[in-house]
């Protein structure tokens, strides 16, 4: 059974997740895409809070919590292949 997506801000340090949706304007989505935070990309939370720091591949991004709460993700189990 698949769990419903949750806001990125609900994850904890070290959690891995896949981006499922973003609730924001096209311009903001394009900006995030340019930085590598695309639909279905896998990320790891380095730090929750302000800013929320995530790692995508070898890149770390700092996101304002107002942006992070509008990014919906699905947790990835550590048992799943990367």
Q: Which two tokens stand for residue 17?
A: 């997740």
Task: Note the pLDDT of residue 3.
Answer: 77
Would 66 be classed as within a structural domain? yes
Tell me what pLDDT residue 1 has.
53
Return averaged pLDDT per consecutive 10 residues of the chain, 82 residues in all.
85 96 82 90 95 95 94 82 50
Among residues 50, 53, 49, 15, which one has the least CA distance to residue 37?
53
pTM: 0.84
Q: Which residues, 6 or more positions from 9, have their beta carbon under 8 angstroms from its beta carbon?
A: 48, 52, 65, 68, 69
- Cis peptide, bond prior to residue 3, ω within 30 of zero: no
Domain containing residue 68: CATH number: 2.30.30.90
What residue numbers bound the domain in which 48 lies?
Answer: 6-76
In a domain, 81, yes or no: no
**1 lies in some domain:** no
pLDDT of residue 2: 66
At 20, is the secondary structure helix, strand, or coil? strand
Cβ neighbours, 10 Å, residue 52: 22
């Amino acid at each position: 059974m698949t769990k419903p997506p949750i806001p990125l801000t609900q994850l904890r340090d070290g959690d891995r997740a896949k981006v499922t949706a973003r609730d924001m304007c096209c311009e903001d989505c394009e900006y995030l895409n340019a930085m590598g935070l695309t639909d279905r990309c896998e990320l790891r939370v380095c730090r929750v809070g302000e800013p929320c720091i995530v790692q995508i591949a070898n890149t770390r991004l700092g996101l304002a919590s107002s942006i992070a709460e509008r990014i919906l993700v699905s947790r990835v189990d550590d048992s799943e292949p990367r």
